[in-house]
Amino acid sequence: MTIVGERDANPFFAQPLRDYVLHELGRPVRVLQAGCLAPLRELGIGQLEEGGFEVSVTLVEDDTPLARQVVSQIAAAYDDVLTGDLRTAAITQRTFDVVYCASLLEHIRHTEIVLDHLVAALTPGGLLMIRMSDRCAALALLDRFLPSPLRKSLWKDLRPGFPGPFPAVYEKSVSERGIHSYTLVRGLVIVQHAAEPTLPANRTRLSSSVRTVCGVISWLTRGRFGDDHDELLYVIRKPQDRFARVV
């Protein structure tokens, strides 16, 4: 789980975005952020704008009471805000150069339909950047089965000041195997991927207890639900040729 705006620029995402901006030198680059909990700062857009590059960011989020509470706090940071069912939201196809989807997929249903809608919004050659909790991580298993009061306490500990918690759905697509299968079937290309732990950055008694429990889960499941990471990161390219096949 990631606190909104907590991270500084993350080279994993910031460098591919910078490379894309330089490749498209001379024209504005459009970014679509899917999900209101994404740590937008990690894309390094501020540094790009300081360098004289023009980058616009549109936010799209489900029109639910909980999402509206978060959006109301952060809407001023975006050039435009779209709300509605993420499967059918009014996003013009082939409009955005980059789709940044973080801290969203683990909280929604119909994951692949939503991803299809987001990929359709990408221009050919555009980038889909994903940060998501791994369904196969011990923390995700704990998140799915914790009693509601404990989930609320953990949410407040990790996301102070933000409404929540959001639903713990974790469909099968929200995993390394799920994303690889999705990209293969859709003819998308995984440019780079990584796995990250996030809990070690939190030093409160509650998060320390969670880390301990995750270690026990990993041991009891013989590593099936591991505790070496809890988030997966991807940079995925949409081919220029829609008939392209990944070999």
Report pLDDT digits (tens) over 187-232: 999 999 999 988 655 556 666 788 889 999 999 999 899 999 999 9
CATH of region 11-134+163-197+229-237:
3.40.50.150
Question: Which of 8-12, 65-69, 133-137, 155-159 is predicted least confidently?
Answer: 155-159
Mean of per-residue pLDDT scores for the chain: 90
Three state DSSP letters for the chain: CCCCCCCCCCHHHHHHHHHHHHHCCCCCEEEEEECCCCCHHHHCHHHHHHCCCCEEEEEEECCCHHHHHHHHHHHHHCCEEEECCCCCCCCCCCCEEEEEEECCHHHCCCHHHHHHHHHHCEEEEEEEEEEEECCCEHHHHHHHHCCHHHHHHHHHHHCCCCCCCCCCCCCCCCCHHHHHHHHHHHCCEEEEEEEECCHHHCCCHHHHHHHHHHHHHHHHCCCCCECCCCEEEEEEECCCCCCCCCC
Q: Which residue has the higher pLDDT, 200 or 38?
A: 38
Residue 7 has pLDDT above 70, yes or no: no
Q: What is the pLDDT of residue 212?
A: 87
pLDDT digits (tens, 9 = 90+) for 131-161: 999 999 999 999 999 999 989 988 888 788 8
Q: What is the pLDDT of residue 204?
A: 65
118-133 pLDDT tens trace: 999 999 999 999 999 9
- Position 113 confidence tier, pLDDT thresholds 50, 70, 90: very high
pLDDT(103) > 70: yes
The pLDDT score that the predictor gives to residue 97 is 98
Predicted pLDDT at 18: 96
Q: How confident is the model at residue 43 (pLDDT cuts 50, 70, 90)?
A: very high
Instruction: State the pTM of this model.
Output: 0.91
**When comparing pLDDT for 245 and 102, which is higher?**
102
State residue 96's pLDDT score. 98
